Structure 1
Amino acid sequence: MGEVERLKLISAKDECEKHEARILKALEILTPSFPLTENSINSFDDEAIAVLDQFLYRFAKLQDCIGLRLIPSLYSVLENDDRVIPFIDVLNRLEKLGLLSSVNDWQFFRAIRNNLAHEYPEREDDVVDAINLLFFFMGSF
């Protein structure tokens, strides 16, 4: 492994760990509020909203870092291959190597991230369901 590849991998890992730590802290604070409802979110004070925002922001940032930095760097190092190939092929290879628990899990969390990134006021119930689902799965790690 070259020095540049090693540094990219370390940097991506460190960033992911930072986001994870902040997610876990937010989960610790938010746990008594779950499961959320539209009414409970609407009754949150400014501090609770800030913690919920932190949880969602850090989750999105973690997903982005994993998908844009960590996975490509890991694949490049392991396969000694910097060709551009479809992301699903990279995921499948990492799953085959035992470095990704499941391509389906990745796609599941990515779908939640995308759903939360595109909030629409008329779909508030969908957003609440997505947050509850995310909380349930993130809390089980």
Structure 2
Amino acid sequence: MTLEPKILLRLQFLSRVVRKECQYLVITDSRLFKDEFTLAQVAMLESDIELAERVEVFVSRFGRLQDTLGDKFLPQLLIALGERTASAIDNFDLAERLGFLNSTDEWMTMRNLRNQMVHEYIEDPAVLANALQTGHLFVPTLICTADKMTAEIKHRGWIQ
């Protein structure tokens, strides 16, 4: 299948961005989660600036990779494959059927986690600790999704 040059260039660009975002998230994840993230660590965020910055970077990189994969790379890949794009959840359902995502429900859970990490923790530190720990557990899922999508475009000869 020959792609329109604009679509091909966009896919190639997004694959490079996703690869870098994966690398950065893995580095941040390994620095923040040497052990389980606890309520005691949440309590230290106001006084431990380095820890607070690592949390902020993790949340940012987790959300950025998720956004890039779900809102940019996936729709572009679906278009390249000749599929119709629709709402995010419909795109996730299609991606699950195509084997790019393990589960649409899992993906929606990850999207909700970001909101918990960014907004809801203000009222309840336990929400932040749980959301961060759960986000950490989802990092391999994000990386796996990125790998599957990238493998598809490599298989089709759209990237090297």
Equivalent of 2:57 in 30, 54, 58:
54
Counterpart of 1:109 in structure 2 is 110
- Asked whether the equivalents of residues 43 and 125 of structure 2 are also in contact (C-alpha less than 8 Å), the reply is no
Counterpart AA for 1:53: E
TM normalised by structure 1 equals 0.84
Quick one: distance in 1 between partners of 2:64 and 2:140? 18
Alignment of 1:36-55 (within 5 A): 36-43=37-44, 45-55=48-58
Quick one: distance in 2 between partners of 1:54 and 1:62? 12
Counterpart of 2:95 in structure 1 is 94
Counterpart of 1:126 in structure 2 is 127
Identity of aligned residues (%): 25
- Larger mean CA deviation between 104-113 and 53-62 belongs to 104-113
CA offsets, 1:76-120, max 9 Å, x none?
111254xx5222222222221222222122112111122223234
The 3-state SS of whatever aligns with 2:81 is helix
Counterpart of 1:17 in structure 2 is 19
CA pair 122-80 structure 1, distance change in 2 beyond 3 A: closer
- Asked whether the equivalents of residues 22 and 55 of structure 1 are also in contact (C-alpha less than 8 Å), the reply is no
List structure 1 runs of 4+ shifted beyond 6 angstroms.
none
Quick one: distance in 2 between partners of 1:12 and 1:132? 28
Quick one: distance in 1 between partners of 2:44 and 2:91? 43
- Larger mean CA deviation between 93-102 and 1-10 belongs to 93-102
CA pair 80-103 structure 1, distance change in 2 beyond 3 A: closer
The 3-state SS of whatever aligns with 1:79 is coil
- Asked whether the equivalents of residues 42 and 125 of structure 2 are also in contact (C-alpha less than 8 Å), the reply is no
- Asked whether the equivalents of residues 96 and 103 of structure 2 are also in contact (C-alpha less than 8 Å), the reply is yes
Aligned residue-pair number: 138
CA pair 139-102 structure 1, distance change in 2 beyond 3 A: closer
Quick one: distance in 2 between partners of 1:55 and 1:2? 36
Quick one: distance in 1 between partners of 2:99 and 2:121? 37
- Asked whether the equivalents of residues 94 and 100 of structure 1 are also in contact (C-alpha less than 8 Å), the reply is yes
Structure 2 unaligned segments of length 5 or more: list them.
Answer: 144-160
CA pair 79-113 structure 1, distance change in 2 beyond 3 A: same
